[in-house]
């Protein structure tokens, strides 16, 4: 799951399950299976996301399900767990968790805060009080004031900060935009692999029947008679990934993407397809600078040709490229 509180995913889970508990790692010591900020959602007969698996997650899930039945609004609990013999784990570190129950009223409150422009949420770690929109109330405790200053300076790195009975956590952004053309086997596998990663997917195909009945929260489908028409509606920073059932349509989409400002362009195919497309795109007027934005073949062919393997290679390539871009152009902390 993405760093920070993913309000859309949380609200979707509440709408589906009625009541859920969000478990977030607030601090780690020594060797731990996941980093601070990792989170999962738990309900009576299921869960989504992970804080590291194993005995740690088993214990956290049991505590979360007990919290589902706690009385009163805004039920919360903290837990400090040593990852040693008591849990049957050999990590040797420690983990601190914050557990929060959300029903319809709580989810609606969070959604309203985000609609009002909240970029971070502050709330007590004890039960009973609603979160604040990242603003210290008059005469706020020193712990809360410290947390808000640290969060605005970027000290949290996207995770929850806890101090003096208060927790402050950023609201997760919508994810980097990806436009995926084609809802075939590899397209389905790629959407599945991207679930839980920092991307939001506009999934385009000409046939509604090609899409699965239920889409994950990070994906939105678009049925278009000509999927290439979706190019003009994409934000300039979007990454385009092309894998339709038609080479002619693939070429038209690539031509339109390279004709306007955009992010990376990935095309599924072989080395021979890449050579043909570069030749045809050159004939359509695209120079070396534009063609340098085209990645074909995409993914890691050493992983194999099974749809899941192809999708895994594409996702790994996306993460590597985005991490390199972030390292080259780090964002400054908020003032």
Q: What is the pLDDT of residues 169-195, one digit of tens each?
A: 888 877 899 999 999 999 999 999 998
241-288 pLDDT tens trace: 999 999 999 999 999 999 998 888 999 999 999 999 999 999 999 999
- Please, what is the average pLDDT of the chain? 88
Rg (CA), the chain: 22
User: Could you tell me where in the chain the CATH 3.40.50.720 domains are found?
Assistant: 176-326
Q: What is the pLDDT averaged over residues 113-119?
A: 87
Closest CA to 34 of 46, 23, 25: 25
Structure tokens at 308: 């899941």
Q: What is the pLDDT averaged over residues 19-40?
A: 90
Closest CA to 75 of 143, 22, 142, 141: 22
> Does residue 69 surpass a pLDDT of 80?
yes
SS3 state at 98: strand
> What is residue 87's predicted lDDT score, i.e. its pLDDT?
54
> Does residue 334 surpass a pLDDT of 60?
no
SS3 state at 178: strand
> What is residue 64's predicted lDDT score, i.e. its pLDDT?
97
> What is residue 44's predicted lDDT score, i.e. its pLDDT?
95
What pTM value is reported for the model?
0.71
> What is residue 333's predicted lDDT score, i.e. its pLDDT?
37
Query: What percent of the chain has pLDDT above 70?
Result: 90
Closest CA to 334 of 158, 190, 160, 178: 158
CATH 3.40.50.720 at 176-326, yes or no: yes
Closest CA to 95 of 36, 172, 22: 36
> Does residue 52 surpass a pLDDT of 90?
no
Cβ of 22: how many Cβ atoms within 10 Å? 23
């Amino acid at each position: 799951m993405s760093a920070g509180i993913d309000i859309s995913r949380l609200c979707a889970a509440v709408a589906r399950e009625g009541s859920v508990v969000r478990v977030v790692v607030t601090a780690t010591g020594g060797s731990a299976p996941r980093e601070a900020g990792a989170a999962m959602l738990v309900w009576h007969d299921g869960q989504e996301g992970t804080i590291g698996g194993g005995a740690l997650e088993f214990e956290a899930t049991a505590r979360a399900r007990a919290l589902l039945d706690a009385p009163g609004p805004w039920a919360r609990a903290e837990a400090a767990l040593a990852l040693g013999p008591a849990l049957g784990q050999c990590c040797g570190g420690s983990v601190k968790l914050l557990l929060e129950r959300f029903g319809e009223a709580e989810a609606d409150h969070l959604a309203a805060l985000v609609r009002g422009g909240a970029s971070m949420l502050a709330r007590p770690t004890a039960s009973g009080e609603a979160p604040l929109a990242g603003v210290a109330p008059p005469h706020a405790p020193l712990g809360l004031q410290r947390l808000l200053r640290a969060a605005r300076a970027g000290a949290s790195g996207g995770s929850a900060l806890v101090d003096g009975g208060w927790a402050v956590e950023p609201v997760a952004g919508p994810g980097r935009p990806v436009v995926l053309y084609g809802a075939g086997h590899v397209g389905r596998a790629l959407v599945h692999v991207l679930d839980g990663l920092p991307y939001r997917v506009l999934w385009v195909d000409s046939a509604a029947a090609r899409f699965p009945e239920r889409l994950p929260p990070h994906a939105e489908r678009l049925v278009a008679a000509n999927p290439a028409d979706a190019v003009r509606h994409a934000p300039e920073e979007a990454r385009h990934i092309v894998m339709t059932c038609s080479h002619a349509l693939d070429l038209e989409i690539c031509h339109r993407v390279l004709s306007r400002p955009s992010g990376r362009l990935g095309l599924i195919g072989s080395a021979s397809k890449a050579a043909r497309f570069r030749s045809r795109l050159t004939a359509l007027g695209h120079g070396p600078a534009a063609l340098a934005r085209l990645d074909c073949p995409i993914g890691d062919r050493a992983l194999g040709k099974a749809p899941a393997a192809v999708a895994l290679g594409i996702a790994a390539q996306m993460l590597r490229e985005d991490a390199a871009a972030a390292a080259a152009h780090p964002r400054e902390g908020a003032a």
